[in-house]
Amino acid sequence: EIPTEQWAQVLEKTGQPLEYKKIPVQKPGPDEVLINIKYSGVCHTDLHAVNGDWPLATKLPLVGGHEGAGVVVALGDLVEDIQIGDYAGVKWINGSCLSCGFCQQADEPLCAKALLSGYTVDGTFQQYCIAKAAHVARIPKECDLEAIAPVLCAGITVYKGLKESGVRPGQSVAIVGAGGGLGSLACQYAKAMGLDIIAIDGGDEKKEMTAALGAQHYVDFTKTKNLVNDVKACTEDGLGPHAVILVAVNEKPFQQAAEYVRPRGSVVMIGLPAGAYMKAPVFESVIKMIQIKGSYVGNRRDTAEAIEFFRRGLIKAPYKTIGLSKLQEVYDMMHEGRIVGRYVVDTSK
Ligand code: 8ID
Ligand code: ZN
């Protein structure tokens, strides 16, 4: 009962509007599965892909999307450890070689042959999507597919980033871009990890949402007269947060973080604003002994752990659902920075 045709959002050319149309359903290769995508989150990465923001070309025509939650409907001949009918997720890393040094060390995102969902291979803005069985996220049956979709990129990525920061329970973390998709999930993971959260974003709606998600403090970057001082003032001793998680789509906050992070603290870059550069004062960075690093999605183990936090009921981030046919409206809102939390698309509408 797998149809031969399906609805999809197709990008024919970078920078052009999407086309909602019917395209063929593909057959999985020997090491692949076909997943009937029920819901997909919309990540800012998908908008970067449409705009051609990054120094890495997408495939064209392209079906975007990499936060897809659905049901396995077909298996390649070599696939044994996942069954038809199982819940599964398609994430950013669609597949990797599994044999290079990085894959061997579970650094699959660093694999030179990694396939990227909704970027170098077709993704989840369609009703039936292919992914390598080894990389498909296993989703327990008790999980709600609509609510878990944003975990498959935003959740995994911020969970990994928080771990990479080295921050410990009881310490403080600044989440920059806390009112967006990654940021709202970061608030929930940070809360579950027992951290004191300083949310940084703009506007009262995001202030209220981040407070409801567990942030104790809020700094409004659109209103503050001195962001560095205001962030430091949120910490008990005024010395700044132990970690900074940068998920904003803007260069400026990447140039402020090193100034307010605590001595011995770490700054983790996750957001990918087009053409941006990181900047930090050498003098303060040295005498404060700070760390600055990048963090890129997560491996298969991070995926399983991020999903387990959700299954245990620790992660409840707000989302709004809209039909797949209306994806362009989501991009328009995202472009204007108007989305509070995450949008999820329903592939049946
Ligand atoms: O693996 C990775 N590193 C990875 C994975 C997934 C996504 C990286 N990303 C990247 C995306 O490509 C994107 O560049 O993370 C970034 C954030 O994605 P998102 O959370 O999906 O974007 P969003 O929902 O639009 O949220 C961005 C938030 O940043 C705020 C906005 O108000 C919004 O809430 N923001 C901006 I723009 N400028 C800010 C500033 N100066 C700011 N917040 C604080 N200070
Ligand atoms: Zn993403």
* 282-312 confidence digits (pLDDT tens): 999 999 999 999 999 999 999 999 999 999 9
Residue bearing the CA closest to ligand 1, atom 34: 180
Q: Which residues, including other chains, have CB under 8 Å from residue 208's CB and lie 6 or more apart?
A: none
pLDDT digits (tens, 9 = 90+) for 232-270: 999 999 999 999 999 999 999 999 999 999 999 999 999
CA 116 to chain centre: 13
Report the distance separating Cα 180 and Cα 47, nearest Å: 14
Q: What is the rounded average pLDDT of the residues 99-121?
A: 98
DSSP string, 51-66: HT-SSSPPPSSB----
Residue 294 CA, closest ligand 1 atom number: 3
- Whether the CB-CB separation of 178 and 186 falls below 8 Å is answered with yes
For a pocket test of ligand 1, which of 40, 249, 319 has the largest count of ligand atoms closer than 8 A to its C-beta? 249
* Residue 47 parent element (H or E): helix 44-51
Q: Look at residues 200, 189, 201 and name the one whose alpha carbon lies nearest to residue 162.
A: 189
For a pocket test of ligand 1, which of 51, 54, 58, 182 has the largest count of ligand atoms closer than 8 A to its C-beta? 182
177 lines ligand 1 (CB under 6 A): yes
pLDDT digits (tens, 9 = 90+) for 37-75: 999 999 999 999 999 999 999 999 999 999 999 999 999
The predicted pLDDT at position 320 comes to: 98
> How far is the centre of ligand 2, averaged over its atoms, from the C-alpha of 72 (Å)?
21
* Domains by residue range for the chain, with CATH: 5-153+298-346 (3.90.180.10), 155-294 (3.40.50.720)
Is residue 120 very low, low, confident or very high in pLDDT (cuts 50, 70, 90)? very high
Phi, psi of 173 (to 5 degrees): -135, 135
CA distances to 270, 289, 340, 344 from 209, rounded to whole Å, are 21, 34, 8, 17
Q: Look at residues 19, 29, 25, 20 and name the one whose alpha carbon lies nearest to residue 6.
A: 25
207 lines ligand 1 (CB under 6 A): no
Residue 109 CA, closest ligand 1 atom number: 1
Report the distance separating Cα 262 and Cα 280, nearest Å: 14
Is residue 3 very low, low, confident or very high in pLDDT (cuts 50, 70, 90)? very high
The predicted pLDDT at position 73 comes to: 98
Residue 248 CA, closest ligand 1 atom number: 29
Q: Which residues, including other chains, have CB under 8 Å from residue 173's CB and lie 6 or more apart?
A: 162, 165, 167, 190, 195, 196, 197, 198, 241, 242, 243, 244, 245
